[in-house]
Chains A and B, each alone.
Chain A
Amino acid sequence: MTAKKLGLKQRYAHMTRGLDWETSYQPIDKVFPYDQFEGIKIKDWSAWEDPFRLTMDAYWKFQAEKERKLYAVLDAFAQNNGQTGISDGRYMNVLKLFLTGISPEEYQSHRGFAFIGRHLRGVGPRVAAQQQSLDELRHVQTQIHTISHYNKFFNGMSEFPTMHDRVFYLSVPKSFFDDARSAGPFEYMIAIGFAFEYVLTNLLFVPFMSGAAYNGDMSTVTFGFSAQSDESRHMTLGIEVIKFLLEQHPDNLPIVQKWVDKWFWRGFRLLGLVAMMMDYMLPKPVMSWKEAWEIYFTEAGGALFQDLARYGLKMPKYHEVATEAAEHVGHQLYGLLYQLCHVAGLHAWMPDAKHMDWLSEKYPNTFDKYYRPRFEMWAQMEKEGKRFYYNGLLQLCHTCQLPMTFTEPGDPTTRCFRETQFKGNRYHFCSDGCKDIFDNEPEKYVQAWLPIQQIFQGNCGGPTVPDVLNWYQIKVGVDNAEYVGSEDHKLWESWKQDTAVSKAG
């Protein structure tokens, strides 16, 4: 007689049982040296249970299946010259931003979770963190494979690892992950597992990948959703960790609240890049940043924090400021990119009349009043042959490292500046949120690598713009500046002509 098949819960219990052991020749605190200095108190690690109960054999089986499907799509895409079927050549700039700004962070996330998977002393979270670490490595690999096909045709992608480490706007995502990875293991879990994966990642992946699908980029939508299919496990890890910390000891609440406040604000600032992309850079837009914010923060985040209120956890500090700013950030950041694309590794362009009407419809309170007149002025300058580029060095916020371009809460006509003094030096911030983060840990943030300050200090290839761009590995006149008239644009137009000829023939 065969034994009765084990149920899911039993299989998971068997997998995790006995994976952990008591140390004999070293004290346990020496084996796990990093999980106490942050002040988090854990009474019972065995109270952790991963609700997915994904055993390692099932993990390999599902991940292998996902890979088979993804690579079948990528092969078909390459064989069928899928690059010619995207909505418009301008769309490629979205992928350039993604490859240089997001894919390297998948790798940072892989490293971070590998560390957590070693250094938390409970076996449940260790298994989940190790699986997530492997997922993140898979994500960076599949993203590079997918985008490498476009690199055969379009500019701006070939030097992505160097660009990520050096280019000024890419220090925004880089500093976010550097900050998380140089924190303790519990803060890392709240930063990436909870604030980023659970609260904010939908805003990056779901509307973005839907945008890729809508713009004919079958390969990106496939890697995006394939990566996102791991995300439900990551979200579960994020929510489990916060419940676990809050249930273990009441002293954990103020520490966790401070991390939630900090990482919500850092994530909100980072995702401003996604706001710009969704509102301006998809030739066929799918959803405005404001709509995405309403669905994924106001509605989904609201439900989550309502649930966590039973532990005394409050909505993140300045969440109202972030919600109000959803009316502005996309316009403000794209306006900046338009003026600065001559020093960037991608192209920008003037939104056409139809796109501006879409923005008016999506932003009835703000676009026509504050932002349309700026674009119309720049459009007029283009007509007169005076395409506007900003030729100064920007002042950066010392925390989020974005340029000081944001406006005061409730007053979109006044630039927001904050500053703080620390050990005889003055530091500048774009918002109260960023200033608070610095003021809580000034010793950490004074060490930040700020790209503009580094140029002034002579660490970025030389004193002139061409020197710095050369050091960034941005090819002047090829990778940068206005889309109209660029090599990418000419290539796209030639493809369109080929299609027209073959249709006519």
Chain B
Amino acid sequence: MSQLASLTLYHNDEARPIIEAIIADNPGVRVLNMPGAVKLDCEGALVVKRASVEERLGREWDPQEIHLVLISMAGHLDEDDDQFSVSWKH
């Protein structure tokens, strides 16, 4: 059975570079647009890479800044200085 890892983010300018980085770094990601929010789902795991966000944002970005635009998630969280991920892998 399918096990989707998921992040839901604000649909605004602040979250846009993060959304774009997720789409670029997670092949097969499914995008569900809702008024005000975007839900991104990917089989097994979903990763947000600091370097990819910084490239799009044009400034330094701390993965903990995701707290400002994150609405919901599914999966076990792992976070360090270089990335933020949710997954069902062990």
Contacts and interface: CB of A to CB of B under 8 A. Distances in A.
B57 interface: no
Given A7-B81, A8-B81, A206-B34, A303 B76 contact: no
Given A62-B68, A225-B37, A303 B4 contact: yes
A62 B5 CA distance: 24
A221 B10 CA distance: 10
Interface string A26-63: 00000000000000000000000001111000100010
Interface stretch (A231-239, A371-379, A470-478): A231-239
A54 B71 contact: no
Contacts of A211: 35
Contact of B80 (A8, A205, A287, A310): A8
Contacts of A65: 68
B60 interface: no
Interface string B45-82: 00000000000000000001101111111111111110
A145 to B, nearest CB: 20
Interface string A190-215: 00000000000010011101111110
A66 B24 CA distance: 27
A86 interface: no
Nearest to B14: A69
B4 A225 contact: no
Contacts of A235: 72-73
The main secondary structure of chain A at its interface with chain B is helix
Given A7-B80, A8-B80, A225 B71 contact: yes
Contact of A210 (B35, B69, B77): B35
Contact of A239 (B65, B76, B81): B76
A239 B77 CA distance: 10
A374 B68 CA distance: 46
A135 to B, nearest CB: 11
B37 A210 contact: yes
A286 B34 contact: yes
A303 B71 CA distance: 19
Contacts of A299: 2, 4
B90 to A, nearest CB: 8
A295 to B, nearest CB: 8
Contacts of B8: 202, 206
Nearest to A198: B74
A420 interface: no
Contacts of B78: 51
A52 B79 contact: yes
Contacts of A395: none
A60 to B, nearest CB: 12
A303 B74 contact: yes
A228 interface: yes
Contact of B34 (A51, A54, A69, A287): A287
A303 B3 contact: yes
Contacts of A229: 10, 67-71
B36 interface: yes
Interface in A56-87: 58, 62, 65-66, 69
Which of B32, B69, B81, B88 has most chain A Cβ within 10 Å?
B81
Interface of B: 1-6, 8, 10, 32, 34-37, 39, 64-65, 67-81, 88, 90
Interface of A: 7-9, 51-54, 58, 62, 65-66, 69, 202, 205-207, 209-214, 221, 225, 228-229, 231-233, 235-236, 239, 286-287, 295, 299-300, 302-304, 306-307, 310
The 8 A-B pairs at the shortest CB distance, nearest first, are namely: A213-B36, A213-B35, A214-B35, A303-B3, A210-B34, A51-B77, A228-B71, A210-B35
Given A232-B73, A287-B34, A302-B3, 13 more contacts: A51-B79, A58-B64, A66-B68, A206-B34, A229-B10, A229-B68, A231-B72, A232-B67, A232-B70, A232-B71, A236-B77, A307-B88, A310-B90
